[in-house]
Amino acid sequence: MMKDDEFFREIQDNCWDADVRIKECKHTKVDVQVLSTIPVLFHYWAKPEHCYDTSRFFNDHIAEVVERYPTKFIGLGTVPMQHADIAVKELERCKKLGLVGIEIGSNVNDINLNEPQFFPIYEAAQELDMAIFVHPWNMMGAKQMSKYWLPWLVGMPAETSRAICSMIFGGVFERFPKVRFAFAHGGGSFPSTVGRVEQGYKVRPDLTAIDNDVNPRDYLGHFWVDSLIHDTSFLQYVMNLLGNDKVCLGSDYPFPLGEHVPGEEILSMDVSKKIKDQLLYKNALDWLKLDKKNFI
């Protein structure tokens, strides 16, 4: 796989072959998997019409896989976020294809997700009842920390916090309360810094509350995150912070930073079966507005 004109990473057929995925899911006891486009393929950097073409290609592929294996896969689409009108057009087509939401990046060509140019997309998602999954990409500061895989270890968690904070302070959650947003990797660094974020709101409202005067803490429990944290004690903290009903199983399959046996950390936790069931599948079904009976 190439990124710009440079080699990015070597990928295997489990990135695109549904039959391989089903075999590997069976091996790791995963019953149903949500499919989404690899962030490097968002193509926000491209001309909108070119990104529209590639988005259609990826969305058609995911929809075809879901149609072939409707009890095994759920699909999220991708849209050209750099052009709202085209993005809405493709979002509407995603709905017709049977996809239940879209995945977007944590920023779009360094533009934060609170900017009004994205509001038509959120409004369409709200009207169409489509979920939105926010995944970190185009990490800020990547050129300044190229060694030690730091863009992935430091940049990605910071990117997700950047997205959440910009959407809180920019009033996105306030303006579009029915959009079911979810954020990757346990919300990144946001849960561990929410106290600092709230303190900033309290002591410098002239800088933080200029577009939305609601306390950031009031939005805890308003959005979902996944469980991909790699630390059960911090996962428990996130559950306490956001609610047991707002954390969904995340695997990052098939990449190395993922949980190689999805759900293993959840199953190892000292919580009730009811809570484990919420984390393992019920919360994800709620986020996507799907019924378990469709996958039996």
Domain residue spans of the chain: 29-290
102 dihedral zone (left: phi>0; alpha: psi -120 to 50; beta): beta
| Whole-angstrom distance, CA of residue 223 vs CA of residue 286 | 12
Identify whether 177 is preceded by a cis peptide bond (ω within 30 of 0): no
Report, in angstroms and rounded to the nearest whole number, the Rg of the chain calculated over CA atoms: 18
In 3D space, the residue among 160, 164, 167 whose CA is nearest the CA of residue 118 turns out to be: 167
Question: Phi and psi (nearest 5°) for 111?
Answer: -95, 130
β-partners of residue 105 are: 135
Looking at residue 10, its pLDDT comes to 75
- Other beta carbons less than 10 A from residue 296's beta carbon: 7
CA 106, 110, 116: angle at the middle one, nearest 5? 75
- Kindly indicate whether the domain formed by 29-290 is annotated with CATH number 1.10.10.10: no
From 199, 158, 178, 183, select the one nearest 238 (Cα to Cα): 183
The pLDDT value recorded for residue 2 is 53
198 and 216 Cβ atoms separated by less than 8 Å = yes
Cα-Cα end-to-end distance for the chain: 35
The conformation of residue 279, written as its DSSP 8-state character, comes to I
In sequence order, which ranges of 28-118 are alpha helices (DSSP H)? 48-68, 84-97
Tokens standing for 18?
A: 């549904």
Residue 291 to residues 47, 63, 71, 85, 226: CA-CA distances in angstroms? 38, 18, 11, 31, 19
Q: How far apart are CA 93 and CA 99, in angstroms?
A: 9
Q: In sequence order, what are the residues at sequence separation of 6 or more whose Cβ sits closer than 8 angstroms to the Cβ of residue 166?
A: 112, 113, 114, 172
Q: What is the pLDDT of residue 14?
A: 87
What tokens does 123 get? 């409004």
Rounded-to-integer distance, Cα 103 and Cα 114, Å: 16
Please tell me the distance from the alpha carbon of residue 238 to that of residue 194, in angstroms, as a whole number: 11
How many beta carbons lie within 10 A of that of residue 96, not counting itself?
A: 9
Query: What is the per-residue pLDDT for 139?
Result: 95
Q: Please state, in angstroms and rounded to a whole number, the distance separating the CA atoms of residues 96 and 132.
A: 16
Could you tell me the mean pLDDT of each successive run of 10 residues in the chain, 296 residues long? 62 88 93 96 97 98 97 98 98 98 98 98 98 96 93 97 98 98 98 98 98 98 97 98 98 92 96 98 98 88
Question: What are the beta bridge partners of residue 7?
Answer: 2
